[in-house]
Chain A
Amino acid sequence: MELKVIKADGDYTHVALSGRLDIDGVTSVEEKFTNVVSAKGKPAIVDMTEVGFIASLGMRMLLTAAKALRANGAKLVVYNPQPVVLEALQTAGFAAVMPIENDFSKALALLQNV
């Protein structure tokens, strides 16, 4: 599991996750993810293009960050999840806190609408 920081300065944070967000994946990436995404308190785009698997532990990692940002008046947008990951996120009912968008310019626009 990898976390690539694409943009950490400026108005928003942009990171990309790749690999499997299973028990091991979350354990290996959670601390860095929290430090980069939640701690800054800025709107964030999380690129999920390369994430092939997510279980509830991975969703909890995303959701904890989304809630922390929301408390700060900022939003976390999940960008471009694979179809089965998208289905799981929608099934879990998390779209209300974590909008999902497959178009990058629309994802950026969503960050502005808190």
Chain B
Amino acid sequence: MSGRLEFQLRNTVGDVSVSLPLIRRFAAESGLAGRQEYVLILSYEELATNIVKYGFDDAAIHRIRVLLENHSRGVSLTLMDDGHEFDPCRAPVPEFSPDPASGAPGGAGLRLVRKMARSMQYSRENGWNVVKVLI
């Protein structure tokens, strides 16, 4: 089955939360189950949350564009934001430390997406970050 879903959210954690059911419904309608469904939802939650929390240098409301496509090569997730330039494919993520004194595991979400998705591509286009994840 082929399909496409496009929507926008504001740069708030609340909007990421509210939009999660859209991703779950798209996964169900695309026939994704098990690991593929998991990786799609994980990729969306991690990348969208990352953009919301760290992507913008001002306090203004920004629109984040989301495109989900189910095509012959599989399911892809594309996120577009007009925040500062940030390449999640290359950004350094610190190694996890078991030391109890160390803080929260920064970058854990990005590390997970990089390792569990089939591929992730980044480009900077006309002031927009464009990240495409193939599930």
Kindly list chain A residues whose C-beta atoms are within 8 Å of the C-beta of B41: 22, 53, 55
Shortest A99–chain B CB gap in Å is 11
Shortest A58–chain B CB gap in Å is 10
What size tier do the contact residues of chain B reach? 20 to 34
Residues 34-56 of A contacting B (Cβ, < 8 Å): 53, 55-56
- Pairwise interchain contact B20-A22, C-beta atoms closer than 8 A: yes
- Pairwise interchain contact A87-B100, C-beta atoms closer than 8 A: no
Residues 66-108 of A contacting B (Cβ, < 8 Å): 67-68, 70-71, 83-84, 87-88, 91-94, 96-97
- Pairwise interchain contact A88-B13, C-beta atoms closer than 8 A: no
- Pairwise interchain contact A97-B98, C-beta atoms closer than 8 A: yes
Shortest A14–chain B CB gap in Å is 22
Report the Cα distance A56→B104, complex, angstroms.
10
- Pairwise interchain contact A55-B45, C-beta atoms closer than 8 A: yes
Shortest B37–chain A CB gap in Å is 9
Rank and list the top 9 A-B pairs by shortest CB-CB distance, nearest first. Answer: A56-B109, A67-B100, A71-B100, A56-B108, A96-B98, A84-B38, A97-B98, A23-B17, A55-B45
- Pairwise interchain contact B96-A94, C-beta atoms closer than 8 A: yes
Q: State the main secondary structure of chain A at its contact with B.
A: helix
A88 and B112 in contact (CB under 8 A), knowing A53-B41, A67-B100, A71-B100?
yes
Report the Cα distance A96→B98, complex, angstroms.
7
- Pairwise interchain contact B38-A23, C-beta atoms closer than 8 A: no
B 63-95 binary contact with A (CB < 8 Å = 1; else 0): 000000000000000000000000000000001
- Pairwise interchain contact B116-A23, C-beta atoms closer than 8 A: no
A87 and B45 in contact (CB under 8 A), knowing A71-B100, A92-B105?
no
Q: Is A4 part of the binding interface, using a Cβ–Cβ cutoff of 8 Å?
A: no
- Pairwise interchain contact A70-B100, C-beta atoms closer than 8 A: yes
Report the Cα distance A55→B35, complex, angstroms.
13
- Pairwise interchain contact A87-B116, C-beta atoms closer than 8 A: yes
